[in-house]
Structure 1
Amino acid sequence: MATTNKYTKLFICSTGIFVCYFYFGMLQEKITRGQYGDGENREKFTYMFALVFIQCLVNYIFAKMILLTVMKQGEDTTRTVYYSLSALTYLLAMVCSNMALQFVNYPTQVIGKAGKPIPVMVLGVLLGKKIYPIRKYIFIFLIVIGVALFMYKDGNVSKKQAESQLSVGELLLLLSLTMDGLTSAVQERMRAEHNSKSGHMMLNMNFWSVIFSSTVILISGELFEFIRFLQRYPSTIWHITTFSMAGAFGQYFIFLTVAEFGPLPCSIITTTRKFFTVLGSILIFGNNLSLRQWLSTLIVFLGLFLDAMYGNDKSKKGTVK
């Protein structure tokens, strides 16, 4: 009976992650790549800091509710400077990732972001003096090869504008990955020095992200432009609200999976859901991939899966879990 309940809970967590992040990904592409208005007055959504502000605000409220009711984790002794630094890099990573969707399609963004273990490992070695097993370098090398093949421009791309857009999108993805790596490096320090808990991290990082993003949208005037945009296209309010809620619930299911079953099953689930999100984007939005891109996609997810299964060496001191 206990085993049955365990598998039932794992199924619920897996389904929650799949459903929430699939819906999250589809809405993210719809919001950031959609065309609004009719005829010559059509426009795109460009209010990325406002979008991230709402997302972080919903995440903060959700984390506060969870810590008060379900996930009580005691006193938090983590230094504020760590939370503010990780929130800044976390915020910039999300903004760059969303902005990239204005120049590249969703499958490209997912494949690019799948390279997150690369900067995490590099910065772990340079800043955290981490030690990784040789096989982890092999698995990460597979991811590098897959991402490079996917991003490679075919010879038939001749329009300078298209080339410019692709290069901007790829640069934004690179910046996003760098910020992801810095966020992970700070989080490693938080865990090592203060044994910071996931619920406290989610709460405080989103709190500081709300502070930073609200400051930006107020000073730049983006808030008022964003409000006027919502007034012109009120249907976007529902999309943004459900997008943010899906992200918050997705984070909760990830934390629950890690707490109940450990990081390995969670890594496998999240890696698998990314692949199916790419497929969903192709089917729903018609983002066709070439044979080379399909092959590189399989290489990337093979590297991610192998890294999740065999990349960590628990017996070796200093290895990242």
Structure 2
Amino acid sequence: MARIKNLPIRREPSWSAAEDEKTNGAGVAVSETEKKMEKKPEVKKKKEAGLITLIIDVAGIYASFLTWAYLQEKVTTTVYHNNNNNNNMSSSAVPSTEKFKFSVFLLTIQSLFAGLGGLLFTYLSTPKGSRIPPIIPNKSILLPLLLVAFTNALAAPFGYAALGHIDYITYILAKSCKLLPVMFLHITLFRKKYPLYKYLVVAAVTCGVAIFTLHSGSKKKAYSSHSGQTAWGMLLLGINLLFDGLTNSTQDFIFATYQPYSGPQMMAANNLMSFMLTGSYLLVSPWLVNTAVGEWFGMGPAAMGGHAGGELKAALEFLNRHPEVWRDVIGFAAFGMVGQVFIFHTLSTFSSVLLVTVTVTRKMFTMILSVVAFGHRLSQMQWLGVGLVFGAIGVEAQIQRREKLAKEAAKKAAAEGKAQ
């Protein structure tokens, strides 16, 4: 009888039996790798922030920056009266009335508050168990950060100097036009081209600012020097906007080049660097005020209210004569710091489109608050100028919103196509 050879028994690997039990509705086995691939988009999907978070962020931006703007106008435009009998300085050295003109001192206090707030924000925004990122992660980022701090430190004194020649509403209106210097720098330095609507927005904004400035209802118009003062103020403000544009362009470059560099890190690094720059200036100002360089930059004794000891000493003596100003200065710095935190949180939680909308409407409310709180009066032509500026900025924000949503929809469709 012939011997029948038994076929070897085929043993299934241990993972095969486990996979046979995991089938889809059609009875087809699904591997663990395939199941992970199917669940991957759900794991990576970012949970959207709720309505309460949105309300808190928007309310925080409005409340902090409206208060910040109110204190800024109050500190820089209020006329303070002196009682020379109670002053330690001779009555001839102290004017009967004076204004707070110490812009670098004000910027130094604000930079210190915002820098410390940025450090705390960086710490609190770091996930538990993760290493706290350094605000200067490498040497290559140091130069761009220094450039931002330098331009930011230079921009503020020009802006505050402009307030000595133009009213606060003109200042706020022109500061709403940051698109102009940003476009100018990108076109001249980076040879970037923009769509037609951007140029139309710039034209409308420029016309709006020009109409508002030329139809000023101020009583200063009666003086022949008013037009020259306004022109000088607008020139100073133009330099301020140019530095603002360079600051914003460099910040965009940093975020694009040094990812994943975050907003809290930027807030801390820039403000602490600005504090060191402006603080250094305050320390050396006593040796500069009586030099030709000091006179040329407007740092001489005449600019410091007849004080030859530099801006730091002059500011402290002013605050000693008017101690109630300390409350406004500290409040100005504190609300500015809180506002920056809300801005960076909104940018990281929601989108830049929402932030642009909130910023534009916030500046409109700032102008309204200035009119109500400080008794400014606007002519019909000035309201036309305001409408042109904010109308153009609003149209630009709406177009940007549509472009942003279209890009996000395209990315989502592409991701869904790859998943299938």
1:74 aligns with one of 126, 133, 140: 133
- The equivalent residue for 2:68 is 24
Q: 2:57 aligns with which of 6, 9, 13?
A: 13
Question: What is the DSSP-based 3-state SS (H/G/I as helix, E as strand, rest coil) of the residue aligned with 1:132?
Answer: coil
Distance 1:237 1:113 in 2: 26
Indicate the SS of the match to 1:129. coil
In the alignment of these two chains, the number of paired residues is: 315
Name the structure 2 match of 1:188: 252
Matched residue, 1:166: 230
Q: Deviations over 1:121-170 (max 9, x none)?
A: 12122223334222222222221221121122569934133333322221
Task: Please state whether the residue corresponding to 1:115 is helix, strand or coil.
Answer: coil
Higher-Rg structure is 2
Correspondence list, 1:93-242, <5 A: 93-153=155-215, 157-195=221-259, 196-220=261-285, 221-242=310-331
AA in 2 matched with 1:187: Q
The CA distance in 1 between the partners of 2:359 and 2:398, in whole Å, is 13
Unaligned runs of 5+ in 1: 317-321
Q: Choose the corresponding residue for 1:290, options 379, 384, 392.
A: 379
Q: Which one has the bigger helix percentage?
A: 1
Quick one: structure 1 residues 120 and 90, their matched pair in 2 at CA, closer, same or farther if it must change by over 3 Å?
same
Q: Describe the shift of the 1:265–1:162 C-alpha distance in structure 2 as closer, same or farther (beyond 3 A).
A: same
Worse-superposed segment, 283-292 or 303-312: 303-312
Q: 8 Å contact 1:93–1:179 — kept in the other structure? A: yes
- Rounded to whole Å, the distance in 2 between the matches of 1:154 and 1:271 is 23
Q: Secondary structure at the match of 2:377?
A: coil
Is the 8 Å Cα contact of residues 49 and 350 (structure 2) preserved in structure 1?
Answer: no
Compared CA separation, residues 228 and 71, structure 1 to 2 (3 A): farther
> In angstroms, what is the RMSD of aligned CA positions?
2.4
Q: Deviations along 1:204-260, whole A, 9 cap, x unmatched? A: 111111111112112112111111111111111110001111101011111111111
- TM-score normalised by L of structure 2: 0.70
Q: TM-score, normalised by structure 1?
A: 0.91
Name the aligned partner's letter for residue 106 of structure 2: L
Shift of 1:27: 0.5
Q: 2:185 and 2:78 mapped to 1: Cα distance?
A: 35
Which protein, 1 or 2, shows the higher relative CO under an 8 Å CA cutoff with sep ≥ 6? Answer: 1
Specify the alignment match of 1:305 in structure 2. Answer: 394
